[in-house]
Amino acid sequence: MAYVMSKHGLIGLVKNAALELAPMNIRVNTVNPSPVETRMMRSIEEQAGPEAPGQVKKSFEESIPLKRYGQPEEIAQLIFFLASPKNTFITGSVYVIDGGMTAGL
């Protein structure tokens, strides 16, 4: 419950900050990824199943419609777009980059 509440709080913070900072031409958005192929996920897998972290990873991947973790470069490309000067009219938005995990919610 605390994790979900913190995520909703973050989205509210982003939306409020976007409204407050818009007059100063400051854009505020949030990027919310699903599991990403990083050291952090290895640690989570090992903690969730120390006897079989590979099985934990497989289980996580099965919960993602694209059947894989995101790659760090994929997340970086979205952030690069949002920060680029070619994007000057997007603010207060939530970007879910999760291989379809939340599409059915």
Write the pLDDT tens digit of every residue in 59-70.
999 999 999 999
Is 3 marked active-site?
yes
Catalytic entry in 3, 58, 67, 69: 3
Is 67 marked active-site?
no
Q: What is the mean pLDDT of residues 87-101?
A: 96
How far, in Å, CA of 8 to CA of 100, rounded? 19
pLDDT at 105 over 80: no
pLDDT at 44 over 90: yes
The ranges assigned to domains in the chain are 1-31+71-105, 35-69
Catalytic entry in 7, 57, 67, 95: 7
The pLDDT mean for the chain works out to 95
Residue 84 carries which DSSP code? S
- Residue corresponding to tokens 């599409």: 103
Residue 76's pLDDT is what?
Answer: 98
The residues, ordered by sequence, that sit 6+ positions from 48 with a Cβ below 8 Å of its Cβ are 56
Residues 40/57, Cβ–Cβ less than 8 Å: no
Element (DSSP H or E) covering residue 36: none
Q: What is the mean pLDDT of residues 83-103?
A: 95
